[in-house]
Structure 1
Amino acid sequence: MDTRRTLPALLLCTALALTGCNSLPGNSEPQALRKFESSQHEAAAMTPIAGREPDLLVRDFYVAAANPTSDYLSARNFLTPDAAHRWNPRESTLIVNRIDLTTRPDAASGTHAYQIRGEVIGRLSSDGSYRPESFLYEADVELRQVDGEWRIDSLPDGIVMERTELRNQYQPHDLYFFDPTNRVLVGDRRWVFANNDTLNTTLLSLWAQGPSKLIRPAVSTTLPAEAEFTGAEDGVYHFSGLANLGPDQRLLLAASLVWTLSTARVQGPYAIEADGQPLLDFSREYTTDDFAEFNPQSYVGSAPAIYALTDRNLYQVSNGGLDTKNNVLANVGDIRSAAMSSDGTGAIVRQEGERNRLWVGELSQHMDRSVLAETLTTPTFEYDPAVVWVVADGRRVLRVVRSAASGELSESNVNISELHDIDGDISVLRLSHDGTRAAFVIAGRLYTAVIQRPNASERRLTNVVEVAPQLGDSVLSVDWQLDGSLIVGTSTPDTPVWRVEQDGSAVTSLPAGNLTAPVVSVAASPSMLYVTDAHSTRQLPLGGNRGSFWREVPGLQGVRSALVVAN
């Protein structure tokens, strides 16, 4: 079976929504919906404390507003009956660093009024996707007494949630959709209310609505318009409108569903039916073993080759030392940067006089020359190791492809028109492991974009987002971790290394006790993080606690190298 044929898609045009149960607030809902019944095991609604002072009641309201169950019943319990009827929580969901209250002195007699302020750091869409934002939120709320108890009588529509409540009340999960080549599953991160027992149907309901707006240009998104997810019954997930899908398309659809459920730790096997029949001919129930070739976490437990760029030569790191014999690049010299793929293909930037040239090829064979420019960034591979990207002279993003037929290299410009309003040169460019996203640094600030394919040979960076504005212009280096997050090196003395979540929902400093800024190079393997600071090259096991120390890489003690992890 040829699983590389085009999957007509994973966008189901009419699908269920989980309103009042698990779905996030939004401006509107699709019209053709069937609502799931609320779980019998939902947590009890939060209610005001008797005799609560008005300022504390307002704070309690914002905590309660993080709970979307029963159409935000917990939050409505803090409102007067009129306000509860008027209030539309689905207008928007803003995430703020913290909520500050200031008493308004002009409140009418017998009422209390407060000005609410908060630094907005992001926004949740109705589909659970997160997008970083940065602006000041200001609003007024007024309270009056109802039967001797303070209640909020006037407030703006929408939800305002502190970052801590997002972490406390919601959990991120990946929905999986195929890339345009149908070779790799792409994660689409969504935030789902945690305190319920309907995670499985919540995820499939969100999945059925299709990819988020952010990742949509980079994934396959076409299913018949009549296709619909009709819910779960007796442990079976039901779909309709799939009668015209071929076996290859059904296989890829099943793989997307199974890996979405499995990575969320929903217990399998998974029974899936389409139009009253098993989705696939070979079985009614499926496990991840049936779709192992599409495992989005296949890197777990693998041990990629590690290379060190030292004294402008590239060496493989093996057995706790540098292999200086079995490497054709060990004594080439003048190498400024390098990237390696898991199949042994290398891409190096080598200085030639006052300029720099990109060379591409297998280390054990002849390497071919390519781009020549004043400056070239560290090259980065697509999912296909026959394709490498590099930035020439700060503003030209080039895609270098080796022809399968002739073996020749060709170059083409990537469309970066959406970057033209961002001042400065691109100093770093890194492609994600699935080849659908790019992270890049312009004037010290960190951005991401998704990679759109208008046709077979054209590429375009779109949906550009600054994902860590709080880092300012301190960013010097970045690389993708295998879970989709970013490791970021900066010039900040106290916190030189950070972890940035794929959607920008969290920016977390990593242990820094024995690091000295600037951190000019970072890299990640399935089990280890690597950095190059002002003095040496160090490593830290993934999952190390905040008290952990970065240790020098065995074989590179006292040496300041840039580590290259084969991707």
Structure 2
Amino acid sequence: MVADREGGARRTPGRAVAYVACGVVLLAGCASMPDSGDLRGVESTPRQDTQVRVFPMPPREDAPPSEIVQGFLEALTSDDPHYATAKQYLTATAAKAWQPELSTTVLADGPDTQADSAGTREDGLDFSFTLTGTKVALVDAQQSYTPTEGSYSRQVHLTRDEKSRQWRIDGLPQGVVMGQSDFQRNYMSVNKYYFALDSAVGASSQPAAVADPVYVRRRVDPMTQMVRSLLNGPTTWLGPAVRSSFPSGTALQKGVSELTPDDQNRLTVPLNDKAARIGPAKCNEMAAQLLFTLQNLTPAVDEVELQAGGAQLCVLNEDGAAAVAARGSARHADYLYFVDGENRLVRIPAGSRSAVAEPVPGELGEGVRALRSAAVSRDEHTAAGVALDGKALYVGSLASGGSLGEPVVRSTGRTEKDRLTTPSWDARGDLWVADRNPDDPRLLVLPEGKEEPLTVQIPRLDGRIQSVRVAADGVRIALIVEKDGKQSLQVGRIDRGEKDRVTGKPQVSVLDLRSAAPQLEEVTTMSWAGDGRLVVVGREEGGVQQMRYVQVDGSMPEVPAPDALTGVKEIAASEDDRLPLVAYSVDGIVRLPDGTQWQTVVKDGSAPVYPG
């Protein structure tokens, strides 16, 4: 039950048995097998329905070393909440020392198991195996997913009890290891939510909610897992940019082991005394964090009640949470925008079936400046447009009579491809754009879209930026970076530091870049498509162009890829998943409503964007 079914050797019929009854699968690692030699490609169980729970069988009497190792590996992929059965394959000392929650190593095809002849003692009381494979990802103790690569090799050591004569594992790596298909069956990605540190959203006082994706075991009380994870604080990567409203040390009340909503879809969360003295405003923020998190997991929670010391602290429903904090996926765009055949910025109602586009109010819609691309602020009051030759960036009001004035940014790149990228607005009203000039490559941010451009520092940037998209929360930024002819998707964390003591200007950096689409060697276009998800167009090495969704942590979400589309040049998505995908392709501007095929909006248009 470890290696994927797509690869590796197959288990011989009759060597293991699975029992299915009443939604429970029992895994039996109990076949008669040799006590030496190799165990290649221990097979994963078939993908089960999400309601089916999988439990392992304990070791049978007089099982040989190979069977003990196999049974243990199978037990790691079960739905046993505390790995109690897996620990039965260990000696008492090893069971106490083993920490399965420390990490989960994901291998492409599951671990191959090879007997180590050099590890066998002459008295027959000692045996060892080496687990090998190709690493795909690591989920750490914070449940944070990180794509990895390279070879995996760890040793498992067994000893035979002199009295009972039973083989047990007495030496093993910390954490758990499993194949990719077992990981996908056992775990799921869920966003937990915190607040951006400096997060006034536009002119309002609402904090911005920031998604922090983690992986939890799918059928081991994921609701309680997510509450505990939220209380434990943000992951290391996101931590420097966000805050939690829960007081330090807040945890579930002692003795609370499982959280379940009542028949009114209210979830009561009893907390320890660390939360007993909070005020109403702080409590509402805590409840909003919980509600955003749990609704990302299940629609079965409409309301959250927080308690401490048996007393009610506050109750918050969906409308209350929306009043507490702004979340990108909850914000509905009024219009879809694009550049028409006359190089003007035009718009159609977002989600509308109408294909009749109207010029936007102001000079950007009047054709005063011929445009190649544009971006619209999230409040849809202001727009920025890049000139047709890519040399200049203009900012103007989306109101009748609004004028553009002089360019706010200029590029001196020699060709159009070496000049300005499509700009992007964040929720604060700041405008971002990259200059691709090889002689002076820069990422720039214009506070409120009108102040003097600031050069953004990117310490770990390895290549030249080709595309920029800022998340609605203003904390994360996605970049397409080109190096040696290949284009990768990188996601970084925005850091807004103190003002420079010499210049008095704010210092802005993008830190801790990480790959969000490691499977693709050429990413041509991308867009945010949710609080923690992007849609990308690219291709794998030696492959053809494809469109897919990716998570910001580099994992693949459990949503089907969009229908294939030929010759995609640009893609636009909204964080609000109720709005259709829109693309610029060989067929012009096209969109993909739910449950249908791509439909042509206009044949003569380019550069589609939703606000942001």
Q: TM-score range by the shorter chain?
A: 0.7 to 0.9
Name 1:138's counterpart in structure 2: 153
Which of 375, 385, 392 pairs up with 2:435?
A: 392
How far apart are residue 524 of structure 1 and its match?
A: 0.8
**CA distance change for structure 1 residues 301 and 257 in 2, over 3 Å: closer, same or farther?**
closer
Name 1:357's counterpart in structure 2: 392
Which of 154, 174, 192 pairs up with 1:175?
A: 192
Q: Equivalences for 1:35-434 in 2 at 5 Å?
A: 46-48=57-59, 58-67=69-78, 69=80, 71-79=82-90, 83-84=94-95, 87-101=98-112, 103-104=114-115, 106=117, 108=120, 114-141=129-156, 152=169, 154-180=171-197, 181=199, 182-197=206-221, 199-221=222-244, 225=248, 229-231=252-254, 235-242=268-275, 245-265=278-298, 267-274=301-308, 277-280=311-314, 285-294=315-324, 299=329, 302-311=332-341, 312-317=343-348, 319-324=354-359, 328-330=363-365, 331-332=367-368, 334-341=370-377, 342-351=379-388, 356-364=391-399, 365-368=402-405, 369-373=407-411, 374=413, 375-384=419-428, 386-393=429-436, 395-402=441-448, 409-419=451-461, 422=462, 424-434=463-473
With structure 1 as the length reference, what TM-score do the two structures score? 0.77
How far apart are residue 366 of structure 1 and its match?
A: 1.7
Structure 2: distance between partners of 1:224 and 1:291: 19
More deviation, 76-85/252-261: 76-85
Code of the residue aligned with 2:600 in structure 1: it is V
More deviation, 429-438/180-189: 180-189
More deviation, 185-194/154-163: 154-163
Name 2:524's counterpart in structure 1: 476
**CA distance change for structure 1 residues 121 and 294 in 2, over 3 Å: closer, same or farther?**
farther
How far apart are residue 413 of structure 1 and its match?
A: 2.0
Structure 2: distance between partners of 1:125 and 1:52: 32
The Cα offsets for residues 235-273 of structure 1, whole Å up to 9 and x where unpaired, read as: 452242346644433332232233333433353543213
The Cα offsets for residues 90-118 of structure 1, whole Å up to 9 and x where unpaired, read as: 55322222224254473548687554322
Structure 1: distance between partners of 2:159 and 2:551: 42
Structure 2: distance between partners of 1:504 and 1:447: 9
3-state SS of paired residue (2:380):
coil
Code of the residue aligned with 2:133 in structure 1: it is G
Structure 1 contact 495–509 (Cα < 8 Å) conserved: no
Structure 2: distance between partners of 1:523 and 1:440: 15
How far apart are residue 291 of structure 1 and its match?
A: 2.5
**CA distance change for structure 1 residues 503 and 231 in 2, over 3 Å: closer, same or farther?**
farther
Point out the structure with max Rg over C-alpha.
2
Structure 2 contact 291–304 (Cα < 8 Å) conserved: yes
Name 1:442's counterpart in structure 2: 481
Structure 1: distance between partners of 2:369 and 2:427: 28
Name 1:505's counterpart in structure 2: 555
Structure 1 contact 495–510 (Cα < 8 Å) conserved: no
Code of the residue aligned with 1:258 in structure 2: it is L
Structure 2: distance between partners of 1:464 and 1:160: 27
Q: Which structure is richer in relative contact order (CA contacts within 8 A, separation 6 or more)?
A: 1
Structure 1 contact 348–358 (Cα < 8 Å) conserved: yes
The Cα offsets for residues 479-513 of structure 1, whole Å up to 9 and x where unpaired, read as: 10024211111155534212101222227896577
The Cα offsets for residues 117-144 of structure 1, whole Å up to 9 and x where unpaired, read as: 2222222122222222222212234567
Code of the residue aligned with 1:553 in structure 2: it is T
Structure 2 contact 245–282 (Cα < 8 Å) conserved: no
How far apart are residue 388 of structure 1 and its match?
A: 0.6
How far apart are residue 458 of structure 1 and its match?
A: 3.4
Structure 2: distance between partners of 1:67 and 1:153: 21
Structure 2 contact 106–178 (Cα < 8 Å) conserved: yes
Structure 2 contact 340–605 (Cα < 8 Å) conserved: yes
Structure 2 contact 328–531 (Cα < 8 Å) conserved: no
Which of 511, 515, 539 pairs up with 1:466?
A: 515
The Cα offsets for residues 258-309 of structure 1, whole Å up to 9 and x where unpaired, read as: 33334333535432134554324xxxx3322332324666745945311222
With structure 2 as the length reference, what TM-score do the two structures score? 0.72
Structure 2: distance between partners of 1:323 and 1:563: 14
Code of the residue aligned with 2:336 in structure 1: it is I
Matched positions, count: 503
The Cα offsets for residues 32-91 of structure 1, whole Å up to 9 and x where unpaired, read as: xxxxxxxxxx97554357898876764553342145856422322334556545544355
Name 1:565's counterpart in structure 2: 610
Structure 1 contact 67–193 (Cα < 8 Å) conserved: no
More deviation, 372-381/163-172: 163-172
Structure 1: distance between partners of 2:274 and 2:311: 12
Structure 2: distance between partners of 1:105 and 1:239: 50
**CA distance change for structure 1 residues 244 and 452 in 2, over 3 Å: closer, same or farther?**
farther
Structure 1: distance between partners of 2:582 and 2:65: 51
Structure 2: distance between partners of 1:513 and 1:401: 38
Code of the residue aligned with 1:532 in structure 2: it is Y
Structure 1: distance between partners of 2:107 and 2:226: 25
Code of the residue aligned with 2:458 in structure 1: it is I
How far apart are residue 431 of structure 1 and its match?
A: 0.7
Give the unaligned 5+ runs of structure 2.
1-52, 200-205, 260-267, 414-418, 500-505
**CA distance change for structure 1 residues 305 and 325 in 2, over 3 Å: closer, same or farther?**
closer
How far apart are residue 425 of structure 1 and its match?
A: 0.3
Structure 1 contact 132–465 (Cα < 8 Å) conserved: no
More deviation, 106-115/75-84: 106-115
**RMSD of equivalent CA atoms:** 3.6
Structure 1 contact 315–322 (Cα < 8 Å) conserved: yes
Structure 2: distance between partners of 1:291 and 1:169: 31
Structure 1: distance between partners of 2:452 and 2:331: 35
Structure 1 contact 117–139 (Cα < 8 Å) conserved: yes
